[in-house]
C-alpha cells in the first residue's frame, strides 16, 4: 500500500487529532511517517506531548486535592451538632 506523503502544514493540521487518537489508521501512518523524517514537526510533536502530559498531571493533582477537601468538609459537617427546629446557623 503506497501512502501519500504529508507536508508540514498537513501534518501539523492533524497533530491534535493524532495526539487524541482520532485519526484513521492510514492517517496515523502518514503522520508518523512525516514525524520520522521531519525534525521541525517532530520537535513540535514532542513539545505538545510534554505539555499534555504535564497538564494531565496537574489536573489529576487538582482533582485529588478537591476530593481531599470535600472529604474533610464532609467529616467536619458530620461532627457538627444539628440545629434544633427554628434555630438558624451562621
**pLDDT tens for each residue of 70-87:** 888 888 888 777 755 565
| Centroid of chain to Cα 75 | 31
| pLDDT digit string, tens, across residues 5-52 | 999 999 999 999 999 999 999 999 999 999 999 999 999 999 999 999
pLDDT over 90 at 90, yes or no: no
Q: Is the model more confident about 22 or about 66?
A: 22
Distance between CA atoms of 12 and 61, rounded to whole angstroms? 30
C-alpha cell at 40: 521541525
Helix extents (H) in 38-88 = 39-79
Helix extents (H) in 6-38 = 8-19, 25-37
Distance between CA atoms of 54 and 86, rounded to whole angstroms? 51
- Does pTM surpass 0.75? no
Helices 25-37 and 39-79, packing angle to 10 deg: 120
Contact by Cβ (8 Å): 38, 44: no
Amino acid at each position: 500500500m503506497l501512502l501519500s506523503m504529508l507536508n508540514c502544514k498537513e501534518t501539523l493540521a492533524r497533530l491534535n487529532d493524532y495526539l487524541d487518537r482520532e485519526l484513521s489508521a492510514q492517517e496515523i501512518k502518514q503522520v508518523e511517517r512525516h514525524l520520522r523524517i521531519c525534525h521541525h514537526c517532530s520537535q513540535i510533536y514532542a513539545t505538545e506531548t510534554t505539555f499534555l502530559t504535564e497538564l494531565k498531571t496537574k489536573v489529576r493533582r487538582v482533582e485529588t486535592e478537591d476530593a481531599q477537601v470535600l472529604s474533610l468538609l464532609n467529616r467536619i459537617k458530620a461532627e457538627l451538632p444539628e440545629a434544633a427546629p427554628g434555630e438558624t446557623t451562621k
